Structure 1
């Protein structure tokens, strides 16, 4: 016996338009006659098993192209209105504050750091160009995260717009890992494989940092498109690429470059400890400082990335604090990169000191020049030495 006959409000009747889906009762709601190949939306039920539900959300069911309803209805957005629902909402709100605050601080620090490297010509070299590209990748990923989150929260973004934002967010995030890999590769070549340092040019590093992630994300995008076309269920108003079964396509390469960077770092530290321990040249000191930066940033990047894939599943106090810590570490990565590669960089500090000394010297020269040839209102010299000379010349005729 058809269950649809058990509900008086949803009588079984043939649709007036042939090929349309007929009325259907799914034990919870009645799905009215619909034209084929569309997703039907209607408000969630008001009450179920003694619990009131949020009717501002919608349930959906897909009417296939052959005029037959899909085998299930989607009630994922129908949530019960519980009395203790305020705590999870507050924790999510606080987590978003941590993200927004951290990404904003990182953006400001990164923009200042990149401006320093671009403005001062003394800092233009291959090493600092790699630093600048790394910081630019963080600027783009941080800005894209803020833009995506803001548009999803405050504006109604269609599925195509969300897919585009998700594509760029995944791409710029992956460039962070590959430019950090370029940092490790460059330092490895300088310290360990010194005979190959002239074989790798800037364009090769640019391809590794920007090109390879683009190829990986394009493959990931095509895989998602194929999955979307093959799926019978077509939902509107949802961003179908935010969480897919193809996440491993870009997560795998990210983990791989982290592992390779750890290998590079271990070999670099071994050479610095064993072979260059007694060397105190400026170049060796620069290698040591760059290695210390990698020693902090690579584990930081790896640990925070692992935190995005694992974590507590049950809500509670520990889960909330875990989310706060993860948000802080993820959003402050760009700030840490700017600190280690720019603000505490001895080369940057020496450049600042050099330009400050030059600026002071130039100002003193302008000041002394203006004081030497300016006079007061009564046409007497302003400086004390000139006043002495002026008075002496006035007394000379009487002394003869």
Structure 2
């Protein structure tokens, strides 16, 4: 599909990155769960000395998988946030709509999660360096990666409400003119598909 020039646009690039983030998120969760099960699942029952099992090599691999999983989850949420911003900019404002404005979306989707995963990893390494970093003894460290997800979800919800308001006002206006606006139909379909 990349051979078709008509498909080369910011909207499709954002869609492709969102779908890639979904794939990476699923793979990262599977890898993390597999490493947890392999290193901390059955072996804990078999071994008497747990500290021997928590060798640096095994712990590093499991912790790296945990960090990658957290990064992929954040990237997935921020790409969804980028989708919402793009839809908002197409319908309501003219911010970041130009074809040359794909770079800010790349930084938002793949770069912003690093701003939260790196401090979380450092805090886990310095303050809660136990097992596979799956337990959260101090919830303040957990909020380093959860707050951005909640914030992005809240902004997505507010954008969704604003877009619904615009769609309903355009629908009312198009019924008065007796011809439908194709953009309104297209956006209504997109919103319907996203929330299935």
Under TM normalisation by the shorter chain, which class is it? Answer: 0.7 to 0.9
Give, in angstroms, the shift of residue 196 of structure 1. 5.9
Query: For 1:125, which of 9, 24, 28 is the aligned residue?
Result: 9
Does the Cα contact within 8 Å between 1:182 and 1:208 map onto a contact in 2? yes
Q: Output aligned runs, 1:222-371, within 5 Å.
A: 222-228=122-128, 238-239=131-132, 241-244=133-136, 245=138, 246-277=141-172, 278=174, 280-294=180-194, 296=195
Identify, as 1 or 2, the structure richer in helix.
2
Structure 1 runs (4+) deviating above 6 angstroms are none
Task: Name the SS for the 1:136 alignment partner.
Answer: helix
1-side partners of 2:95 and 2:63: how far apart? 45
Higher relative CO (CA 8 A, sep ≥ 6), structure 1 or 2? 2
For 1:158 and 1:195, how far apart are their aligned partners in 2? 47
CA deviation after TM superposition for structure 1 residue 224, in Å:
1.2
Q: What is the CA distance between 1:272 and its match in structure 2?
A: 0.9
The SS at the match of 2:81 is helix
Listed as ranges, the matches of 1:1-400 within 5 Å are 118=2, 120-154=4-38, 158-194=58-94, 197-198=97-98, 201-228=101-128, 238-239=131-132, 241-244=133-136, 245=138, 246-277=141-172, 278=174, 280-294=180-194, 296=195
Between structure 1 and structure 2, the one with the greater Rg is: 1
Q: 1:164 to 1:121 in 2, by over 3 A?
A: same
- How far 1:126 sits from its partner (Å)? 1.2
User: Residue by residue, what CA displacement relative to the aligned partner does 1:95-124 show, whole Å, maximum 9, x if unpaired?
Assistant: xxxxxxxxxxxxxxxxxxxxxx54655433
Give the CA RMSD over aligned residues: 2.4
Checking the alignment, whether the CA contact within 8 Å between 1:268 and 1:291 is kept in structure 2 is no
Does structure 1 retain, via aligned residues, the 8 Å contact 2:9–2:99?
no
TM-aligned CA deviation for residue 276 of structure 1: 4.7
- TM-score, with normalisation over the residues of structure 2? 0.78
Count of residue pairs brought into register by the alignment: 172
CA distance in 2, matches of 1:182, 1:134: 9
**CA distance in structure 2 between the partners assigned to 1:249 and 1:118 by the alignment:** 37
CA distance in structure 1 between the partners assigned to 2:117 and 2:143 by the alignment? 11
Aligned-residue offset at 1:149? 1.6
Structure 1's 215 and 158: CA in aligned 2 closer, same or farther, altered over 3 A?
Answer: same
5+ long unaligned stretches in structure 2 = 44-56
Distance in 2, matches of 1:274 and 1:223, equals: 48
Q: Report deviation, 1:219.
A: 1.1
How far apart are the structure 2 equivalents of 1:185 and 1:200? 16
- For the residue of structure 1 that corresponds to 2:134, the secondary structure is coil
CA distance in 2, matches of 1:257, 1:228: 26
Any conservation in 1 of the 2:10–2:99 contact (CA below 8 Å)?
Answer: no
Q: Which has the higher strand share?
A: 1
Give me the TM-score of the superposition, normalised by structure 1. 0.40
